[in-house]
Structure 1
Amino acid sequence: IEFPAVYEMLSVMKAKLDASRSLLYETTRFVDMYKTYEDIARERSLTPDERAEMKKYSRLADAFTPMAKGMGSEYCNQNAYDSVQVHGGSGFMKDYACERIYRDARITSIYEGTTQLQVVAAIRHVTTGTYLNQIRAYESENIAEAYLPLKDELVKLTDIYAAAVEKVTSAKDSEYLDFMARRLVEMAGNIIMSYLLILDASRNEEFDASARVYNNIAKAEVAKHAEFINNFTPSEVNVYKKA
């Protein structure tokens, strides 16, 4: 593969890896918080504020767990595929580790619930606004000045995402919602992971490249899904039933 193509592929692979890791750490933070309150509740009664905090983090853990599993495992497969591609024919031989990684990666989007089942678990947090509210929370956090232009892009993407959610949910058609569920969950995930990388980069410049590369990925993915949703009507779902 020519050098420019390899350069792009490796940068995208690194960005997806860092984005997946950031989402995983954020998910575990939410789980740790509500589990901590559960442990405290075994020793004494929680105050009203503590109960509210536990409920908040429990809801966020419930929302982020399927997103982290679904998008993380899909990125795992994509990175494994691209790793073999970078190595060329050698990547398919047992001399290189990527050959085994390529085989092992496939199961990650199947066991403990397929990606499609993760979407089933996540979509209610699209319709109830859990993801949108958390995106707005990230929007209010302090971000280094160098990343304010990236944040401005995410604010625009958030508006696009919110409009897409409104278009789908306002149809009051469960079949149509199920059809668009993965697109909506991925839109939310792209925005969330981009925010998390920007926040990481604000604290540690080692994430600078990944934050910038992933921001471009998020823009492309959100635009792609929004375009599909905006030019699709609920009645068109019937066409897919005939396949």
Structure 2
Amino acid sequence: MISNNYFHDNEDLKDHFDSLTNWNEIVEAYEENFSDYNEYQKSGKEELAYAPGNFEDAIEYYKQTLDACGDISGKNISQVAKAMDEVGLKYKDGKVTFPKEMVDVVEKIKAAGLLPYGIHRHYGGLGLPSVVQSMLSEQVSRGDGALAITLGCMNLAETVERFGTDEMIHEYVPKMAAGELCGAMALTEPNYGSDLPNLQTKAVKGEDGVWRITGTKRFITHACGFNEIPSIILTLARTGTTTSGARGLSFFLVHSKDVFVASIEKKMGLHCSPTCEVVFENSAGILIGEEGKGLIKYSMAMMNQARLNIAAQAMGIATAGYMEAKKYASERIQFGKAIDQIPAVKKMLDRMEREISGMRSILYEASRAVDLYRWKEERGKMNGISEKEIKKDEEFKKWEKLAGLFTPLSKYYITELANTVAYDAMQIHGGSGYTEDYDVARIYRDVRITNIYEGTTQLQTVACIGGIVSGMSETGFFRAYLKDEMSQFAVSSELKDLWTKFETVVKEFAEIDKSQLREELAFEVVESAARFHISLLMERNIGRAKVNRRELRKSLTESYILDSSAILESNLTKIRGKKKVLVNA
């Protein structure tokens, strides 16, 4: 793997930090008039000592964090990724053993103060907006996708922070921030993968008031904890009858000492990410939030954040693939010249660069949407404002809806394109890439899961389609957002044409009254939405970029819009063709 600072050597990522991100709105939304700093001045709480007191300090704090993470990601994590992958995990009698290289690098991350990146300052975390968290996760994932999952699980405190009691929060979240607890999400069961409303793991409340959980969960990452660190397992279990569906499910916190890890999966990739089968047998559980809202409220909130994390993971792995392919192509001599000078190879590299630029644009826009609503809810809770009052805020409602759409949209798009980028990266390496001598083989294996776990692309399509169709109505929230964004820059004729095509795709689809055909054609609409949205973001970003980067951005954008125009035209042809067949049937 390339050894470098993964923040400094990534010009596109640096552009987003230095020029393309509207930090004024992010800082205002997250820092809330620098309330943490002001509280520190009054109380002297140690955990708030590094809270920024003004805009410039906030930006510098975020940048220093990313710089430090980029250094460890590129000079430490990436350099042991191959060794970790080769050693892998060992399982015996319910215990999972991790490679020494992995344990050592996690300790290095912890010593650098970077471990609790997703946890609030109030509980010992770094306190970073979602945009910065996504940038950080991308860098770590470029170093190694499996280790990024480990760090993500060690930051899995969001659900407890948002929905737990004060007692629960103060008992568990500071321990996660200190690296004394890992986290795990236990949703899936052997016979119920994505069919969560019908899962069978049972929770019964005893006469002593303690909930006891019995059942088996499969594909549970880090249910075994990490090394000697135990996990708190956020578990979905049935408290209602077997026929009560989603309304009969509740959410629990279960300690890993109270379950048995029956096995770990032998996987194609991510060899250092433990995917466990877990047996609950009268395991003690602590109810999170209200009974009966486990799936419809708490699990869905947790999964939405997890999907954004996987998008960032795929973004990082794709970047690794592109960077490794670019380096290899510049050094590999064939026919008397480096292969990056061969038109067919150059075309592939150009496409990879273009797609990665688009992927990064939608990732950070989805993160922006989260930042512009979520912290009102979190800070409101800290300040004693009721959830009902918070949800009356029009800006809150707007960005909550947009985040609800952009999260599955970015998860689908980035993970699918990350697979394409990794495929091309291996192709550029030729036969050498098919061997384990080059890192691209591991990159290719690791990225393959990203468009499967935390909801397949097909499930993300289901999650997106309603919001796109209703959101594109005359008064819809998505249309209003797109129109507002386009009003802020001089829209090219090519983007205007693409907008017309996108509107037509949605209109033609909305006219279909046969549910089976709508389900069959939903992907074409979702793909069209993603391609238009990213085209808009890329064109918007040209004017925001530094002067010396604008020509490159303009070139990438024009190429992306041209490709998108062909894709939307194809999707429109498919929709019209299927409708014609239906009419003639």
Q: TM-score, normalised by structure 2?
A: 0.38
1:10 corresponds to: 349
Name stretches of at least 5 consecutive residues in structure 1 with no aligned partner: none
Q: C-alpha separation between the residues in 2 aligned to 1:194 and 1:141?
A: 15
- Equivalent of residue 68 in structure 1, options 398, 403, 410: 410
| Conserved? CA contact 2:416–2:451, under 8 Å | yes
Q: C-alpha separation between the residues in 2 aligned to 1:221 and 1:78?
A: 16
1:141 corresponds to: 488
Deviation at 1:185, TM superposition (A): 0.5
Q: C-alpha separation between the residues in 2 aligned to 1:138 and 1:183?
A: 23
User: Which stretch shows the higher mean deviation, 95-104 or 201-210?
Assistant: 201-210
Return closer, same or farther for 1:125/1:163 CA change in 2, 3 Å cut-off. Answer: same
| Conserved? CA contact 1:180–1:229, under 8 Å | yes
Deviation at 1:234, TM superposition (A): 6.9
Deviation at 1:29, TM superposition (A): 0.6
- Equivalent of residue 226 in structure 1, options 572, 575, 584: 572
Deviation at 1:48, TM superposition (A): 9.0
Residues 59-138 of structure 1: matches in 2 within 5 Å? 59-128=401-470, 129=472, 130-138=477-485
Deviation at 1:212, TM superposition (A): 2.3
User: Which stretch shows the higher mean deviation, 102-111 or 85-94?
Assistant: 85-94
Post-superposition Cα deviations, 1:6-49, rounded to whole Å, max 9, x if no partner, equal 11111111111111111010000110111121134332479899
- The amino acid that maps onto 1:32 is D
Matched, 1:201 2:542: yes
Post-superposition Cα deviations, 1:105-139, rounded to whole Å, max 9, x if no partner, equal 11000000000000000001121024433322222
User: Which stretch shows the higher mean deviation, 192-201 or 25-34?
Assistant: 192-201
| Conserved? CA contact 2:505–2:568, under 8 Å | no
Partner SS state of residue 189, structure 1: helix
Q: C-alpha separation between the residues in 2 aligned to 1:167 and 1:213?
A: 26
Task: Decide which structure has the larger Cα Rg and report it.
Answer: 2
Residues 9-48 of structure 1: matches in 2 within 5 Å? 9-42=348-381, 43=383, 44=385
Deviation at 1:192, TM superposition (A): 0.6
Q: C-alpha separation between the residues in 2 aligned to 1:234 and 1:70?
A: 29
| Conserved? CA contact 2:426–2:440, under 8 Å | yes
- Equivalent of residue 560 in structure 2, options 214, 231, 234: 214
- The amino acid that maps onto 1:190 is R
Q: CA RMSD in A?
A: 2.4
Return closer, same or farther for 1:49/1:122 CA change in 2, 3 Å cut-off. Answer: closer
Partner SS state of residue 233, structure 1: helix
Deviation at 1:160, TM superposition (A): 1.5
Q: C-alpha separation between the residues in 2 aligned to 1:213 and 1:81?
A: 20
Higher relative contact order (CA 8 A, sep 6+): 1
Count of matched residue positions in the alignment of Structure 1 and Structure 2: 232
Partner SS state of residue 219, structure 1: helix
Q: C-alpha separation between the residues in 2 aligned to 1:234 and 1:227?
A: 10
User: Which stretch shows the higher mean deviation, 169-178 or 60-69?
Assistant: 169-178
Partner SS state of residue 231, structure 1: helix
Q: TM-score, normalised by structure 1?
A: 0.87
Return closer, same or farther for 1:185/1:131 CA change in 2, 3 Å cut-off. Answer: farther
Q: C-alpha separation between the residues in 1 aligned to 2:555 and 2:446?
A: 28
- The amino acid that maps onto 2:536 is Y
User: Which stretch shows the higher mean deviation, 93-102 or 53-62?
Assistant: 93-102
Q: Which has the higher strand share?
A: 2
1:181 corresponds to: 522
Q: C-alpha separation between the residues in 2 aligned to 1:131 and 1:226?
A: 20
| Conserved? CA contact 2:376–2:390, under 8 Å | no
| Conserved? CA contact 1:24–1:68, under 8 Å | yes
User: Which stretch shows the higher mean deviation, 161-170 or 225-234?
Assistant: 225-234
Q: C-alpha separation between the residues in 2 aligned to 1:200 and 1:69?
A: 21
Q: C-alpha separation between the residues in 1 aligned to 2:406 and 2:442?
A: 29
| Conserved? CA contact 1:132–1:188, under 8 Å | no
Post-superposition Cα deviations, 1:50-105, rounded to whole Å, max 9, x if no partner, equal 70000000000000000000000000000000111111111211122211111111
Partner SS state of residue 110, structure 1: coil
Name stretches of at least 5 consecutive residues in structure 2 with no aligned partner: 1-338
- Equivalent of residue 190 in structure 1, options 519, 531, 536: 531
User: Which stretch shows the higher mean deviation, 10-19 or 62-71?
Assistant: 10-19
